């Protein structure tokens, strides 16, 4: 079947279209995305501005049309920290449903961490043992650890790269570093008690970009190339970026103009997480939250006798751990 997964993030709205089947890896077929920087449209009273909401609605309508044009049978839409934390989140979601027909689902930080962990587990398999999974988004850092498909612990820490950039800028890196380490330090003991880790993994765009800066293979070499982010190289890159103007950072490998303003903050968060967790090297997993959402969806399909899938005609129950009950 052809599915679309629509990710409304703090920086980017991204519709990924995949060809998917139960028991097989989802194969990317098409992609439609735009950098809306929704987090920058949060006003002093905590609401998302009309301009931000309007741009989101237009993009959701565009994504729906793109999904139809590319033959998607279902679209799985979700929102993360920027819209989730807006005081007018419910109002914008209702407006989106009315104007576009798309009903956005709000994911909690814990749900993000669990779905991302599921994606990493499926990518690496059972032989990976105890996985520690780290994901830096625009608004938060997600951490999850466990031996199974359901992590033993899943946490969300509000130190995302975009959030830290807005709060501290590029001139207060020392203050940013202290703040980030205090926030991660408040929860890292709970993470370490689930160790030792057999494999430590970083996912999503910030980690992949930091990998490119420190010498990992470009995307053009494919998903199956082993990519590892080394802590010492990361520290050296952070020092280099600290001395660069924002406009200069886009000349670094893998850094787009849109990513350049917040990649230093991403490095500060990544280095803090690796230091406090005692990790020298993070393997960079090509699957992340979107793939976790797809895999979870496929896990909850029924089948007609001819083998064609149908959605279960029940409202999925949710466990305390955040994913639909099996």
Where do we find the tokens 């190289």?
233
Q: In 170-277, which ranges are continuous DSSP H helix? A: 173-192, 204-213, 231-242, 246-249, 260-277
pTM of the model: 0.90
Q: How many CB atoms lie within 10 A of CB 235?
A: 16
Q: What pLDDT is recorded for position 312?
A: 47
Rounded to whole angstroms, how far apart are CA atoms 64 and 72? 9
Cα torsion through 202, 203, 208, 211, rounded to 10: 10
Sequence-separated contacts (24+) of 89-95 with Cβ below 8 Å: 89/48, 92/48, 92/53, 92/56, 92/57, 95/53, 95/57
Rounded to whole angstroms, how far apart are CA atoms 111 and 293? 10
Separation in Å, CA 259 to CA 235, 252, 263: 19, 11, 6
pLDDT band for position 309 (cuts 50, 70, 90): low
Read off the pLDDT of residues 152-170 as tens digits, 9 standing for 90 and up.
999 999 999 999 999 999 8
Read off the pLDDT of residues 261-297 as tens digits, 9 standing for 90 and up.
999 999 999 999 999 999 999 999 999 999 999 999 9
User: CATH homologous superfamily for 2-106?
Assistant: ATPase, nucleotide binding domain (3.30.420.40)
Rounded to whole angstroms, how far apart are CA atoms 202 and 181? 18
So where are the chain's domains?
2-106, 109-288
Read off the pLDDT of residues 78-124 as tens digits, 9 standing for 90 and up.
999 889 999 999 999 999 999 999 999 999 999 999 999 999 999 99
Is the pLDDT reported for residue 326 higher than 60?
no
Same fold, 2-106 and 109-288: yes
Q: Which CATH number fits domain 109-288: 3.50.50.60, 3.40.980.10, 3.30.360.10, 3.30.420.150?
A: 3.30.420.150
State the DSSP string of 19-51. E--TTS--EEEEEEEEE--GGGGB-TTSPBPHH
């Amino acid at each position: 079947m052809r599915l679309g997964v629509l990710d409304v993030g703090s920086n980017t709205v991204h519709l990924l279209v995949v060809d998917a089947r139960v028991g097989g890896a989802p194969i990317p077929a098409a992609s439609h995305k735009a950098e809306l920087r929704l987090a920058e449209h949060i006003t002093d009273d905590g609401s998302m501005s009309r301009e931000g909401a309007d741009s989101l609605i237009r993009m959701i309508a565009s994504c729906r049309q793109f999904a139809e044009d590319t033959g998607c049978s279902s679209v799985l839409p979700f929102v993360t920290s920027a819209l989730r934390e807006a005081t007018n989140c419910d109002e914008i979601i209702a407006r989106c449903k009315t104007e576009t027909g798309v009903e956005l689902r709000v994911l909690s930080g814990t749900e993000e961490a669990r779905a991302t962990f599921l994606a990493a587990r499926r990518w690496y398999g059972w032989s990976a043992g105890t996985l520690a999974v780290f994901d830096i988004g625009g608004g938060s850092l997600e951490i999850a650890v466990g031996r199974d498909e359901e992590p033993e612990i899943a946490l969300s820490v509000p130190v995302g790269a975009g959030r830290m950039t807005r709060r501290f800028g590029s001139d207060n890196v020392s203050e940013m570093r202290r703040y980030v380490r205090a926030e991660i330090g408040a929860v890292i003991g709970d993470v370490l008690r689930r160790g030792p880790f057999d494999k430590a993994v970083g996912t999503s765009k910030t980690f992949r970009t930091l990998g490119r800066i420190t010498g990992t293979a470009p995307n053009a070499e494919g998903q199956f190339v082993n990519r590892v982010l080394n802590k010492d190289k990361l520290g050296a890159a952070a020092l280099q970026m600290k001395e660069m103007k924002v406009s200069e950072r886009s000349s670094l490998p893998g850094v787009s103009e849109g990513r350049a303003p917040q990649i230093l903050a991403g490095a500060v968060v990544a280095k803090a997480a690796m230091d406090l967790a005692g990790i020298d090297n993070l393997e960079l997993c090509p699957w992340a939250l979107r793939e976790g959402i797809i895999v979870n969806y496929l896990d909850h399909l029924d089948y007609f006798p001819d083998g064609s899938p149908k959605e279960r005609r029940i409202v999925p129950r949710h466990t305390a751990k955040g994913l639909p009950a099996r």
